[in-house]
Amino acid sequence: MARDRGGAGRGRRRRAAGRGRPGADRGGVRPASAASKLARALAETGQSRDGAAPHTAGPDERLIHGSGKAAAKAKGKGAGKRGKKRPTAGDVVLRYAREQVRVIIELDPAVRRDLPDAVHRMRVATRRLRSAFRSYTKVLDRAATQPIGIELKWLAAELGVERDREVLTERLREGLGELPGTLRLGPVDARLRIWSERRRAGARDRLLDVLDGPRYLALLKTLHAFLAEPPLRKAAGRPAPEVAAGAVLKDYRRLARRTEAALAASAGRERDEALHGARKAAKRTRYAAEAARPALGRPAKKFAKRTKRVQQLLGDHQDSVVARGALRELATQAQRAGEGGFTFGLLYGREEALAADRERALPDVWRKASRRKHRAALRP
């Protein structure tokens, strides 16, 4: 279990980080709202960022929950007869964005306390928000969202350092556990433990430093400003179904191109890289469909589910690629220590067979997911 940092040193760093922050940015957006939301969440888990009494949540809390000026701006001309409002594209996209921002902020204390699954969930929320920025460029001005996306990518990478190590270590440990004792030659468990601990060293402290640092706090402020004054384009006022369907289908076409290219790629590194690219495209398409559910309903839900199957299969393949790289490293270290690398080589062969199995399964899974009728169901 990762140790929990505490003591006077941590408090001094946090108090220092809190000094000198401006009260407002050039656009007049007050950063206190995101900070107060965070302070309230920290208070709920029994710890404040600076050890003092937490701030009371301010009125701009409503930005995260979808009321107030930002929400009103998204309505556009969506009102129908008898005052009944039809959701606009801006309504739907901002609702999705607000939810991801809420998850990021509310998970902050859980990540700091190293609670189960907290890092993974925060990382997923950052990826979903960044993906929405990239998918819904007709709704949100890319000139404004692209810099935020860069910061979200950075945060996701920082969150992933420890998470990826944990997942990979557990995969390799399970692989060793499945082997009979006669095939577990040498101190393979100890070798894996040493390898994992070396990669883990400092990762937890580094993540806490990131969450205490100015770049992360600036990102929270930027997300707050984004919700306060969303950079909506003209299409944000159009009916949600037509805009959402267009965004999902655009991402689908990107996925289709990458999948077909991967299927045609030569076996080996070229195909591995192509399949990895297709996996990322599948994830983006899935997230776009999930964001579109309020506008498109059941067809979007089913489309996301089918795309998720493609993503999971490609994810299994990529996990195998990463595991094989780690096993090569472990075998090399074992040989240099005079221990032999037979067992790690055996696991390498198993991972290679698993990847080949996923490659064989892809054409059928893709054929089912890419049927024309599934795309037709999305069109309003």
Q: Taken in order 239, 309, 371, 257, is the CA torsion positive or negative?
A: positive
Is 369 exposed, middle or buried, given 0-12, 13-18 or 19+ CB atoms closer than 10 A? buried
In the chain, the N- to C-terminal Cα span, in Å, equals: 50
Report whether 235 contacts 295 (CB < 8 A): no
Q: What is the pLDDT of residue 26?
A: 32
Nearby residues of 275 by Cβ (< 8 Å), 6 or more positions away = 262, 265, 314, 317, 318, 359, 362
Q: What is the pLDDT of residue 73?
A: 53
Residue pLDDT tens, the chain, 380 long? 444 444 444 443 433 333 333 333 333 333 344 455 555 554 544 443 443 333 334 444 555 555 445 545 555 544 444 445 789 999 999 999 999 999 999 999 999 999 999 999 999 999 999 999 999 999 999 999 999 999 999 999 999 988 899 899 999 999 999 999 999 999 999 999 999 998 887 888 899 999 999 999 999 999 999 999 999 999 999 999 999 999 999 999 999 999 999 999 999 999 999 999 999 999 999 999 999 999 999 999 999 999 999 999 999 999 999 999 999 999 999 999 999 899 999 999 999 999 999 999 999 999 999 999 999 999 98
Q: What are phi and psi of 91, to 5 degrees?
A: -55, -50
Q: What is the pLDDT of residue 64?
A: 58
Nearby residues of 178 by Cβ (< 8 Å), 6 or more positions away = none
Task: Count CB atoms within 10 A of the CB of residue 258.
Answer: 20
Three-state SS for 166? Answer: helix
Q: What is the pLDDT of residue 82?
A: 46
pTM of the model: 0.80
**Structure token digits, residue 282:** 């599948």
Q: What is the pLDDT of residue 130?
A: 98
Q: What is the pLDDT of residue 77?
A: 43
Q: What is the pLDDT of residue 162?
A: 84
Please report, for the chain, the start and end positions of each structural domain, with discontinuous segments joined by +: 27-237, 239-372
